[in-house]
Amino acid sequence: MIPWLSPMLEQLFIEAGIETLLMVGAAAAIAVVFGLPLALLLYATGPGGLAPNGWVNRPIGLLINAVRSTPFIILMVAIVPFTRLVAGTSIGTGAAIVPLALAATAFIARLFETAFREVDRGVVEAARAMGATRLQILGKVLVPEAMPGLVAAITVTLVSLVGYSAMAGAVGGGGLGDLGIRFGYQRFMPEVMASVVAVLILFVQGLQSLGDWLVRRARRR
């Protein structure tokens, strides 16, 4: 597959690729599942929202900011007890997914919130005038109208996760980034490093193009 790598390295490479896909995919999926309601809650309770409530909005905002401002490598170590609770272990690919998902959730919640804020307030007002409940406004107006922005947010999150996943080696999570550091850097094997970088670039490019295409499809204006 990659002619300048030994068969053994090639095997490691494939395993690392699968680990990266697993970490990025699982963390992103969890981030969407938890980030979406969190973002809706932030939007709804924010100033001028459907149900403004500073006592709900501010603590959630603070928590999200705290997660986002902690360097990922520190976050990973700092939440080890939590990781152990959730994943049953603090090392390995599964254990790396926990901090990745946490960081991505905080990240995507803010991006989703921004996408909701960009929905025309007039459309929300029209729905209110029609007698829509708050839940109907969230589900039938905000989410569909914000869809292009939500898809773009997922794309950005996936790309960021590819970068974060390189640090997963610190808890034995494996992945392409970790392979690059251990072989390319620590064992002076520039061909491994170059291959890792090249594959990651291609992967990110592909993600971005797919994301852009989906955004265009979702945008009806």
Partner 1 sequence: MPVADAAPGAPPAPNDAAIRLYDLKRHFAGAGGALVRALDGVSLEVAEGEIFGIVGRSGAGKSTLIRCVNLLERPDSGAVRILGEDLLGLDDAALRERRRRIGMVFQHFNLLTSRTVAENVAFPLEIAGVPRAERAARVAEALALVGLAEKAGAYPAQLSGGQKQRVGIARALAPRPRILLCDEATSALDPETTQEILALVKRLRDQLDLTVLLITHEMAVVKEICDRVAVMERGQVIETGRVFDVFTRPAHATTRRFIADTIGHSIPPGTVARLPAPRAGEERRLLQVLFAGPASTRSVISEASRRFGIDLNIISGRIDEIAGEPFGLMALAAYGAPEAVAAALAWFTELGLGVTPVDEAEITHRAEAA
**Where on the chain is the footprint of partner 1 (CB under 8 A)?**
120, 122-123, 125-133, 136, 140-141, 144-145, 147, 218, 220-221
Shortest distance in whole angstroms from residue 146 CB to partner 1:
9
**Residue closer to partner 1, measured from CB, 70 or 114:** 114
Burial class (CB in 10 A: 0-12, 13-18, 19+), 186: exposed
Residue 81: C-alpha distances to residues 14, 24, 65, 85, 86 (Å): 31, 22, 21, 6, 9
Shortest distance in whole angstroms from residue 5 CB to partner 1:
47
> What's the chain's length in residues?
221
**Residue closer to partner 1, measured from CB, 125 or 191:** 125
Shortest distance in whole angstroms from residue 147 CB to partner 1:
6
Shortest distance in whole angstroms from residue 128 CB to partner 1:
6
**Residue closer to partner 1, measured from CB, 1 or 221:** 221
Shortest distance in whole angstroms from residue 187 CB to partner 1:
52
**Residue closer to partner 1, measured from CB, 134 or 182:** 134
Instruction: Give the containing element (helix H, strand E) for 39.
Output: helix 7-45
Shortest distance in whole angstroms from residue 157 CB to partner 1:
21
HEC per residue, 127-147: HHHCCCCHHHHHHHHHHHHCH
CA angle 136, 142, 145 (to 5 degrees): 125
Residue 70: C-alpha distances to residues 9, 66, 75 (Å): 34, 6, 6
SS3 212: helix
**Residue closer to partner 1, measured from CB, 136 or 208:** 136
Residues 6+ apart with CB under 8 A from 191: 4, 5, 184
**Residue closer to partner 1, measured from CB, 84 or 128:** 128
